Amino acid sequence: MHTKTLAELARDLKARKLSSEELTRSYLARIERFNPQLNAFITVLQEEALAAARAADARIKRADANALTGLPLAHKDIFCTAGVKTSCGSKMLDNFVSPYDATVVERFRQAGMVLLGKTNMDEFAMGSSNETSFYGPVKNPWDPTRVPGGSSGGSAAAVAARLAPAATGTDTGGSIRQPAALTGLTGIKPTYGRVSRYGMIAFASSLDQAGVITYTAEDAALLLGAMAGFDPRDSTSVDRPVPDYTAELERPLKGLRIGLPKEFFDQGLDGRVGAAVHAALTIYKKLGAEVRDISLPNFWLSVPTYYVVAPAECSSNLSRFDGVRFGHRCESPVDLMDLYTRSRGEGFGAEVKRRIMTGTYVLSAGYYDAYYLKAQKTRTLIRQDFIAAFENVDVIMGPSTPTPAFGLGEKTEDPITMYLNDIYANGVNLAGLPGISIPMGFVDKLPVGLQIIGNYFDEARLLSAAHQYQRETDWHRQIPRGFE
């Protein structure tokens, strides 16, 4: 069962070839067996999952089910989940049990999906390797000495090792696409505003967006159709109709104009990753697509711009974690200032503190104009470059990451080198565009990903382009050795 895609499992459930309870028990057994070596889950909900599976079987039996009813999934531990610990990978929220569901959680629950548990993540989604979690690093199933990427590394590792057929993630600067690429999976970040952020603990409010990590584009289309849509509780949610993504998967690629930015192939890119991109483009040409060279002249400013804007927003969002209302509180504070300083000092990890301090600095009097205001102006230039490119192309393609997965501990002492791992991803968030990463091959026996970037609210085209490629290849069918 665990080798099947979400769409295949949905068809089996509908045909009554298996029950949701059987399926759920199978995944729970795999979690019990493999999670100790991967550290992909923070919380496993065995009893709750089985109860939900039985309820789903009852819905299926009385013909009150939809395409997702009875299918298991895991949620990144950044989504508030009623009655379940929601830690954000931090000591600060190690004791926090959410009193309500995030909109994403609520919509999947209403669809009848079965929640297996909450996955590990970089603390408050700040990291590119899933090494900053209070609960310890997550291991890459393809090579346990390497990182799975971050911040949605727990979700990626769980799906790659077939501990769950799908998982949610969040993408602030590549945190779905990068781990999907490093673990051989499909990961989509929708247009900013397409999916509600209500109940998703904020890192950088103008950049954060929820998405999913799956085996295939078909699976991603199934899930995105359920989670997308307007939510009046989220002021950044866009009131726009949601297409039937699965119905558009078979859209022909003949005439598709693919933009290839020259800036994606400068120094820093592993030549073997670049070769894999060109091999993928050969398949797209065979399917009738046209490749055009384009330029994104301000692309190289994405990383420094991101690392001004994101820390500034994080310093504001994380000010609420002060030891007063909820979360970690220090022992025996002598006064209010002592309560604040020790609770925050003990509750936050090193990377979170680094970003809070950076953000506070760039927002401070005397530096706001020099750093934050300039970064916002540069962000506009980056967005305008993409808008200009989409006047001549339908999608933009390139590598998801410059290299395959790096070793655990390899970059923890050099945050700048770590930040550069998201060099192809940051600009997409700054512009608010949708992006997807799909498996396109292996380098040193480690998976690498092809990134496809689309125009605003054009997720259907991204999913179609990814699906047509996956019909011609089997990279998405590969399973890490030992997890078959």
Token look-up 């990144």 returns: 76
Contact 126, 150 (CB under 8 A): no
> What does the longest C-alpha to C-alpha distance in the chain come to?
71
Whole-angstrom distance, CA of residue 19 vs CA of residue 133: 35
**Which residues in 315-428 belong to E strands, given as ranges?**
395-399
Assess whether 295 carries a catalytic annotation.
no
Catalytic residue among 20, 76, 90, 400: 76
Burial class (CB in 10 A: 0-12, 13-18, 19+), 81: buried
Give every CB contact of residue 60 below 8 A, 6+ residues apart in sequence.
13, 14, 16, 20, 69, 70
Question: Given strand 446-454, what is the order of strands in its sheet?
Answer: 41-44, 114-119, 72-76, 167-170, 210-214, 186-189, 435-443, 446-454, 395-399, 257-261, 290-294
Distances from the Cα of 339 to the Cα of 66, 243, 315, 359, angstroms: 50, 49, 18, 22
Reported residue count of the chain is 484
Q: Which phi and psi angles does 474 have, rounded to 5°?
A: -130, 20
Residues 48 and 45: their CA atoms lie apart, in Å, by: 5
d(CA 259, CA 262): 9
Q: Which residue among 90, 128, 175, 196 is the active-site one?
A: 175
**For 98-216, where are the E strands, in sequence order?**
114-119, 167-170, 186-189, 210-214
Catalytic residue among 20, 98, 129, 151: 151
Active site residue 175: yes
Sign for the CA dihedral angle at 197, 195, 158, 401 comes to negative
Q: Is there a contact between 63 and 108 (Cβ–Cβ < 8 Å)?
A: no
Q: Is 76 considered catalytic here?
A: yes
Could you give the residue numbers annotated as active site? Answer: 76, 151, 175
